[in-house]
């Protein structure tokens, strides 16, 4: 029975198509490594769970133990703040987005993580909802990544202000998105799936001047 369910799950995963799979080749062609380069890629199918809970409550402590820790203020990221594992992004005083690798929770995927968080919440203590299909993830990286974002992001992205391991809700090219700085030159961007094509093309356009200079 378990083997059958696992095979069915593998078939379903194989049928998935990310919101910008059709742009993969353009992302690759538009990305250039080097001293002034910048690269763009999609990181599809990350596990994302919307979480509502009072972090100061007993349920908040239990949920924090499952998620690797809850952030206490705007901009903070709980858990793996560098994106290497499960991280929890602050959306509001009692609202968070848990972001984890696709095979989180002993290869059980989103359902296993949601179940673990719901059990930790207990009855009527909050909410944990699978939002994995709601957004996709872009990774913008390289020496010129910040300059590309500064063209259309209202946040102050200077390294003294926007440090690795922090994340904010913002707009990029007028598209609402979460922006997570995972290291000095690498940003993860979480747009809604319906806006992903537009934002991907917007970022590619903003990259052109830096990569053209690098190639020449």
Asked whether 40 and 204 are in contact (CB, 8 A), the reply is: yes
Residues 6+ positions from 110 with CB-CB distance below 8 Å: 47, 48, 49, 104, 130, 132
Residue 165's pLDDT is what? 97
pTM: 0.90
pLDDT by residue for the chain (216 residues), tens digit each? 545 545 555 555 666 789 999 999 999 999 998 888 999 999 999 999 999 999 999 999 999 999 999 999 999 999 999 999 999 999 999 999 999 987 765 556 678 889 999 999 998 789 999 999 999 999 999 999 999 999 999 899 999 999 999 999 999 999 999 999 999 999 999 999 999 999 999 999 999 998 776 655
Domains of the chain: 23-44+136-216 (3.30.1360.120), 46-133 (3.30.70.1520)
Q: What CA–CA distance (Å, rounded) separates 101 from 84?
A: 8
Q: What CA–CA distance (Å, rounded) separates 196 from 181?
A: 19
| SS3 of residue 151 by DSSP | coil
């Amino acid at each position: 029975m378990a083997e059958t369910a696992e095979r069915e799950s593998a078939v379903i995963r194989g049928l998935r198509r990310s919101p910008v799979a059709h742009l993969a080749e353009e992302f690759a062609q538009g990305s250039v490594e080097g001293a002034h380069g910048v690269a763009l890629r999609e990181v599809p199918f990350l596990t994302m769970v919307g979480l509502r809970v009072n972090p100061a409550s007993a349920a908040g402590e239990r949920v924090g133990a499952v998620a690797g820790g809850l952030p206490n203020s705007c901009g903070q990221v709980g858990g793996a703040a560098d994106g290497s594992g499960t991280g929890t992004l602050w959306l509001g005083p009692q609202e968070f987005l848990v972001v984890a690798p696709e095979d989180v929770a002993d290869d059980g995927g989103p359902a296993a993580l949601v179940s673990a968080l719901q059990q930790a919440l207990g009855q009527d203590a909050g909410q944990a909802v699978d939002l994995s299909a709601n957004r996709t993830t872009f990774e913008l990286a390289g020496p010129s990544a910040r300059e590309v974002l500064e063209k259309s992001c209202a946040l102050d992205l200077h390294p003294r202000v926007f440090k690795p391991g922090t994340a904010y809700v913002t707009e990029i090219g007028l598209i609402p998105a979460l922006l997570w700085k995972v290291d000095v030159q690498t940003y993860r961007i979480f747009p809604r799936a319906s806006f992903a094509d537009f934002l991907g093309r917007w970022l590619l356009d903003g990259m052109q001047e830096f990569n053209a200079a690098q190639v020449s």
